[in-house]
Amino acid sequence: MASPFVRPFGDIGLGDRPSVGGKGASLGELTRAGIAVPPGVVVTTAAFERFLAALDGDGTIRREIEGLKADDLPTITRASTAIRQRLEDTPFPEDIGAAIVDAHAALCGGDGGMTVAVRSSATSEDSEDASFAGLQDTFLWLRGADAVVRHVRTCWASLYSTESVNYRRRLAMREEGLAMGVVVQQMVDARCSGVMFTRSPTTGDRSVIVIEGSYGLGSCIVSGEVTPDRYVANKVTGDIKDRAVSQKTMQHIPDRENGGVLEVPVAAARQTLPCLTDAEISTLAAIGKRVERHYGKPQDIEWSISQTDEILLLQSRPETVWAHRDATPIARVAANPLEHVFAVFGGNR
Amino acid sequence: MSQTGRNAFPLPSEVAAVPGTEGWEDMYPYFSRFRPEDDKRFWFYNSMHFPEPLAAFGATTAEVPYTALGAFTTRVFVFPTVLGIEHRIVNGRVYITSHAVTDPEEIGRRLVEFQERAGFYYQNWTRLYGEWKERMEALIAEVSAIKVPELPEFDNIEMVLSGRGVAQNHYVREAYHRTIACLSTMWHHHFEFLMLGYGAYLVFFQFCKKAFPEIPDQMVARMVSGIDVLMFRPDDELKRLARCAVELGVDGQFAEGVSPADILAAMETLGEPGRRWIEELDRSREPWFNISVGDGFYHHHRSWNDDLSVPFAALPRYIRMVRKGESMDRPTNALRQERARIIEEYRALLPTDADRGAFDQMLGLCHTVFPYVEDHKFYCEHWFISVFFNKLREFGALLTRNGVLKSEEDIFQLRHQEIDEALCDLMLAWAAGAPCAGGQHWQPIVARRKEILERFKDWNAPPALGPLPDSVEDPAVQMLWGITSESLENWSRPPGGTDGNELKGFAASPGVVEGVARVLKTAAEIGEIRDGEILVCPVTNPSWGPVFGRIKAAVSDIGGTMSHAAIVAREYGMPAVVGTGQATKRIVTGQRLRVDGNTGIVTIL
């Protein structure tokens, strides 16, 4: 599997971001840190560049894009459609295709029913900006190597969507060096899923871990279609200090026929039960604490628990809302420790 | 919360008299009665220190601490924003209010003084506290040594031979005044350090709340608390005595329900091993059994030394544990390591060097002052007070021998100035060779006051009186009494309301358990507790220590996260909810409860 085009998560870390993209690097980093994530590989930027070289050896396409005016949507759309057509028509480089097929076979381990997700993994610094990341594509519940190869190409093509191109034009970004990794990762048929913040999203408190979870796949939480259960654990002691169990009327389950998800109702008896046991809350919190320590800053995490009770992280990224506040100390080192007492009792509460 | 104009608590002037208690006002000094202008202020019931009706002498055990507390905050250390505490007594209960300083100029003027005065104490804390312990031991020795004159038919011949020229009756008054003066000295020593100690804690507490808005109070307490605190020593002595009993082979004498007198009598028949166990017992008793089953404010809260049945009740269980080879030792090393880990982890979560540096400074100050905060109660409220009340009983015995009182305990039905009067009567009668007038005067008064106290017991004292403040801003008040705006809100909700099966208090020690309630209104009922029950009580103190080995969870009416029940429950790793305001009124023995020490909610199931 030592292909320069396809690298397993276990072989990559944050430092590989330029060649595997942000999402791939982060999943690799978690895997290396011993955190369970659904296994996967990244189709590297080298693969994309190879493909692009075959398609646009003389740089015509790149120059054409750089010549487009931001927000001139009719022109951009025309260019985009043409480029994407060429991308679809260009034969997939054989060695890259073979490497993907091999990696896929290794991921499936002989399980023909295994499904994977294919997601774009952008290398741009701006990719942490949700507005950019959102322009990239994600394809779920893909079965079989052919589908994977096909969707890797579609991900690459998404870089040339109208929105994506217009976004780059608005920022006047150079096309040279534009690249993308593509993550190919096992799907988790989740019993429940959610998010986890390693600080309080409401108060910014770094000594708590807030976990939100609901039945099924995480998509219904992210989209706000259910009010998830909310659990708060103390990061230092692991004690669970709050449990707010809500009524979870529906859940998302994999739509294996069409890809994507199906919305199904939750049985009445289960709606108001907690979706996590105390042991699961504690384990999740311990994982959150480890990930935060690994990165040295609070994290915003997506997780799932599989039908076989395996706890897996799908994503971890730095918390950004409260992070700016951390730079301002709430107290100073005093020349004399008693100054703290004098300040409080001097009426400066 | 007061924006609604709602007045959830009765005004002092609206407090109804308890039927059958007419004339109760004479039991307490005039200055302790509510005045018309008191209706404008907010008062809360100090049920932490005064959970039962006060006998007449109890007015003194309330008034002396408040003279000392206020003196040290208002006049000695000159706290910039807070003066002392005013107290009032109604229907036998003590209500208090505090005085704040709000004028910025005045605060500034006081701050200059405070910096110099408090600064000196903080900077020399360890030396001064070392000297304090010596002073307290000397004071306890002094009050113990006070000789209550016998008033024999003829004065002692030594008086004549020494040419001293002062007769015995003179010493009656002198000894009494010295006894009362010692009480006052003790309370002054008590407050010499206490408010500064709490002050340092508060500073750290506020910092933690700002840095970690969701940090439980108990976690701040855990970072600050000492491990080897005197509070655990009396219980440790019982464990030692249990081990001695097994080693000496005299453990067969200890069974549930056997009285201490029978056990001691049996020891006498066991020869050398029995004698040796009694020697070990005597070693433990001084000073460690000078621990009151109350908080130092009620004469009827006797010490372990006065009533061995309380400590002895714990011995059979400890002896069984020794026989089974179960460890009874507090895991002090593990506790110390856990404390260090918690401190280090919170510290590491602070985002900047400045925050971490300030955290170190504030916590360092707490660790300097906390040995006093944690240990002073043993010296003051327990050891000194146990000796003090017994000294007063000697005066009670003197008055009883001379026909003024019916029993020595009756002395506590008189105010301290009335005792002075009664002793004067005695001094005159002894000098005149005539009978005392006091028997006819005092005995009906004593009998009447006992009736009144009985009636007062049934009075449901409101948790507070007067207009509800917007918030209780004084952090010292919050911490000392476990009162916050939130708990005021809880208390003002009538029992049996919409969530009549729930009580909310402070989450003092984490965990959730269900079990059967045992409501103990006074410490004298300690013997009623059964293994595995949930203790529901007004407030606990160190003498309740052995109980914690038997219960599953603790719930109290009063107390904050630094209260005794909270500290001991954390140590034993059992859930505790403190400061519920009304647990002993709303829960009855035998009910099933769920105690959630994480959220501070007690549910009656």
Kindly report the nearest CA distance between residue A61 and chain B, in angstroms.
47
- The structural domains of chain A, ordered by start, are 6-186 (3.30.1490.20), 190-327 (3.30.470.20)
Q: What are the chain A neighbours of B115 within 8 Å (beta carbons)?
A: 338, 342
Is A349 within 8 Å of B199 when comparing Cβ atoms?
A: no
B570 falls within a domain = yes
- Can you give the pLDDT at residue B7? 54
Kindly report the nearest CA distance between residue B227 and chain A, in angstroms.
18
- Can you give the pLDDT at residue B537? 87
- Can you give the pLDDT at residue B486? 54
Pick among B206, B349, B477 to test the A interface (most A CBs inside 10 A)? B349
C-alpha triplet A92, A96, A97: angle, nearest 5°: 60
CA distances to B49, B182, B191 from B70, in Å: 16, 18, 9
Q: pLDDT band for B449, please (50, 70, 90 cuts).
A: very high
Same domain, B323 and B247: yes
Q: What sign does the dihedral B113-B119-B120-B122 (CA atoms) show? A: positive
Taking the C-alpha atoms of residue B141 and residue B387, their distance in angstroms, rounded to an integer, is 9
Decide if B525 touches A, using CB distance below 8 A.
no
B182 falls within a domain = yes
Same domain, B193 and B235: no
User: Are the C-beta atoms of B436 and B402 separated by less than 8 Å?
Assistant: yes
- B345-362 average pLDDT score: 96
Same domain, B222 and B249: no
Please name every residue paired with B84 in a beta bridge, in sequence order, or none if there are none: none
Considering only CB atoms, B358 lies closest to which of A235, A340, A349, namely: A340
Same domain, B73 and B160: no
pLDDT over threshold 50, residue B387: yes
**Which position has the higher pLDDT, A82 or A171?**
A82
- Can you give the pLDDT at residue B476? 55
Q: pLDDT band for B562, please (50, 70, 90 cuts).
A: low
B262 falls within a domain = yes
Q: pLDDT band for A128, please (50, 70, 90 cuts).
A: very low
- B391-402 average pLDDT score: 97
Considering only CB atoms, B351 lies closest to which of A242, A326, A333, namely: A326
Q: What are the chain A neighbours of B345 within 8 Å (beta carbons)?
A: 235-236
Is A331 within 8 Å of B123 when comparing Cβ atoms?
A: no
Pick among A200, A236, A292 to test the B interface (most B CBs inside 10 A)? A236
Kindly report the nearest CA distance between residue B473 and chain A, in angstroms.
10
Same domain, B533 and B564: yes
B355 falls within a domain = no
B379 falls within a domain = yes
Is A331 within 8 Å of B359 when comparing Cβ atoms?
A: yes
Residue B534: phi and psi, rounded to 5, are -100, 120
CB proximity list for A107: less than 8 A, separation 6 or greater? A39, A40, A41, A114, A116, A184, A186
Q: How far apart are the first and last CA of chain A?
A: 63
Identify the domain boundary among B332, B355, B386. Answer: B332
Taking the C-alpha atoms of residue B294 and residue B230, their distance in angstroms, rounded to an integer, is 16
- Which positions 120-159 of B are in contact with A (Cβ < 8 Å)? 122-123
- B39-55 average pLDDT score: 88
Decide if B351 touches A, using CB distance below 8 A.
yes
User: pLDDT (tens digit, 9 = 90+) per residue, B228-280?
Assistant: 888 889 989 999 999 999 999 999 999 888 899 999 999 999 999 999 999 99
Which residue in this structure is represented by tokens 């991900």? A155
Taking the C-alpha atoms of residue A79 and residue B84, their distance in angstroms, rounded to an integer, is 81
- Can you give the pLDDT at residue B87? 95
B214 falls within a domain = yes
pLDDT over threshold 70, residue B471: no
Taking the C-alpha atoms of residue B194 and residue B201, their distance in angstroms, rounded to an integer, is 11
Is A334 within 8 Å of B358 when comparing Cβ atoms?
A: yes
- B8-22 average pLDDT score: 93
- Give the strands of the sheet with A138-143, arranged side by side: A6-8, A40-43, A180-186, A115-122, A138-143
Kindly report the nearest CA distance between residue B372 and chain A, in angstroms.
17
Is B364 within 8 Å of A205 when comparing Cβ atoms?
A: no
User: pLDDT (tens digit, 9 = 90+) per residue, B83-111?
Assistant: 888 999 999 999 998 888 888 899 999 99
Residue A182: phi and psi, rounded to 5, are -130, 125
Q: pLDDT band for B491, please (50, 70, 90 cuts).
A: low
pLDDT over threshold 50, residue A76: yes
pLDDT over threshold 80, residue B393: yes
- Which positions 262-291 of B are in contact with A (Cβ < 8 Å)? none
Same domain, B143 and B80: no
Pick among B212, B337, B598 to test the A interface (most A CBs inside 10 A)? B212
Residue-level length of chain A: 349
Same domain, B490 and B587: yes
pLDDT over threshold 80, residue B48: no
Decide if B400 touches A, using CB distance below 8 A.
no
Task: Count CA within 13 A, CB hemisphere, residue B144.
Answer: 13
Burial letters B245-275, b for 16+ CB under 10 A, else e: bbebebbebbeeeeebeebbeebeebeeebe
Q: What are the chain A neighbours of B207 within 8 Å (beta carbons)?
A: 330-331, 340
CB proximity list for B565: less than 8 A, separation 6 or greater? B508, B537, B539, B540, B544, B554, B556, B559, B576, B578
Q: pLDDT band for B504, please (50, 70, 90 cuts).
A: confident
pLDDT over threshold 70, residue B493: no
Same domain, B466 and B496: no
**Which position has the higher pLDDT, B201 or B175?**
B175
Decide if B221 touches A, using CB distance below 8 A.
no
- Nearest chain A residue to B81 by CA distance is A347
Same domain, B79 and B31: yes
- Can you give the pLDDT at residue A171? 83
- Nearest chain A residue to B342 by CA distance is A236
Kindly report the nearest CA distance between residue B421 and chain A, in angstroms.
44
Q: What sign does the dihedral B202-B203-B208-B209 (CA atoms) show? A: positive
Q: What sign does the dihedral B78-B83-B89-B92 (CA atoms) show? A: negative
User: pLDDT (tens digit, 9 = 90+) per residue, A173-209?
Assistant: 888 878 889 999 999 889 999 999 999 988 899 999 9
Please name every residue paired with B87 in a beta bridge, in sequence order, or none if there are none: B96
Decide if B4 touches A, using CB distance below 8 A.
no
- Can you give the pLDDT at residue A349? 46
- A122-150 average pLDDT score: 70
Decide if B346 touches A, using CB distance below 8 A.
yes
Considering only CB atoms, A338 lies closest to which of B104, B111, B119, namely: B119
- A46-75 average pLDDT score: 89
pLDDT over threshold 80, residue A137: no
Q: State the pTM of this model.
A: 0.83
How many secondary structure helices (H) and strands (E) does chain B include? 19, 12
Pick among A344, A348, A349 to test the B interface (most B CBs inside 10 A)? A344
pLDDT over threshold 60, residue A126: no
Considering only CB atoms, A344 lies closest to which of B107, B203, B349, namely: B203
Written as one string, the DSSP assignment of A66-98 is: HTSPTT-HHHHHHHHHHHHHHHHHSPPPHHHHH
Same domain, B20 and B81: yes
Same domain, B150 and B197: yes
Taking the C-alpha atoms of residue B457 and residue B18, their distance in angstroms, rounded to an integer, is 10
Lowest pLDDT segment from B202-211, B463-472, B505-514: B463-472
- Can you give the pLDDT at residue A319? 87
pLDDT over threshold 90, residue B347: yes
**Which position has the higher pLDDT, B1 or A270?**
A270
Q: What are the chain A neighbours of B352 within 8 Å (beta carbons)?
A: 326-329
Kindly report the nearest CA distance between residue B354 and chain A, in angstroms.
5
Is B365 within 8 Å of A346 when comparing Cβ atoms?
A: no
pLDDT over threshold 70, residue A129: no
How many secondary structure helices (H) and strands (E) does chain A include? 12, 13
Nearest to B48 by CA among B468, B495, B598, B539: B539
pLDDT-above-70 percentage for chain A: 95
Decide if B495 touches A, using CB distance below 8 A.
no
B100 falls within a domain = yes
Please name every residue paired with A302 in a beta bridge, in sequence order, or none if there are none: A195, A315
Q: Which domain holds residue B9?
A: 2-115+456-475
- Nearest chain B residue to A243 by CA distance is B599
B357 falls within a domain = no
Q: What sign does the dihedral B204-B208-B214-B219 (CA atoms) show? A: negative
- Can you give the pLDDT at residue B538? 82
- Nearest chain A residue to B83 by CA distance is A345
- A99-108 average pLDDT score: 93
Same domain, B65 and B158: no
Kindly report the nearest CA distance between residue A274 and chain B, in angstroms.
16
User: Are the C-beta atoms of B537 and B556 separated by less than 8 Å?
Assistant: yes
ipTM of the complex: 0.83
Lowest pLDDT segment from B45-54, B117-126, B470-479: B470-479
Q: pLDDT band for B216, please (50, 70, 90 cuts).
A: confident
User: Are the C-beta atoms of B527 and B574 separated by less than 8 Å?
Assistant: no
Nearest to A167 by CA among A56, A65, A23: A65
Give the helix ranges, DSSP H, for B458-597: 475-481, 485-492, 564-572, 583-586
Burial class (CB in 10 A: 0-12, 13-18, 19+), A47: buried
Residue-level length of chain B: 605
Written as one string, the DSSP assignment of B20-45 is: T-TTGGGGS-GGGS--GGGGGS-EEE
Q: What SS3 class is residue A317? A: strand
CB proximity list for A119: less than 8 A, separation 6 or greater? A23, A136, A137, A138, A139, A155, A182, A183, A185
pLDDT over threshold 60, residue A149: yes
**Considering its fold, how many domains does chain B have in total?**
4
Considering only CB atoms, A345 lies closest to which of B81, B215, B353, namely: B81
DSSP-derived secondary structure letter, A189: -
Which residue type is seen at B354?
A: A
pLDDT over threshold 50, residue A239: yes
pLDDT over threshold 80, residue A348: no
Identify the domain boundary among B268, B301, B332. Answer: B332
Is A329 within 8 Å of B346 when comparing Cβ atoms?
A: no
Decide if B459 touches A, using CB distance below 8 A.
no
- Can you give the pLDDT at residue B115? 95
Is A347 within 8 Å of B362 when comparing Cβ atoms?
A: no
Q: What average pLDDT does chain B have? A: 89
pLDDT over threshold 80, residue A63: yes
- Which positions 92-121 of B are in contact with A (Cβ < 8 Å)? 104, 107-108, 111, 114-115, 118-119
A vs B, Cβ pairs < 8 A, gives 130
Kindly report the nearest CA distance between residue B486 and chain A, in angstroms.
18
User: pLDDT (tens digit, 9 = 90+) per residue, A17-49?
Assistant: 889 988 899 999 999 999 999 999 999 999 999
Nearest to B385 by CA among B36, B2, B49: B49
Q: What are the chain B neighbours of A327 within 8 Å (beta carbons)?
A: 351-352
CB proximity list for A103: less than 8 A, separation 6 or greater? A1, A3, A6, A8, A41, A184
User: pLDDT (tens digit, 9 = 90+) per residue, A302-340?
Assistant: 999 999 999 999 989 888 888 888 888 989 999 999 999
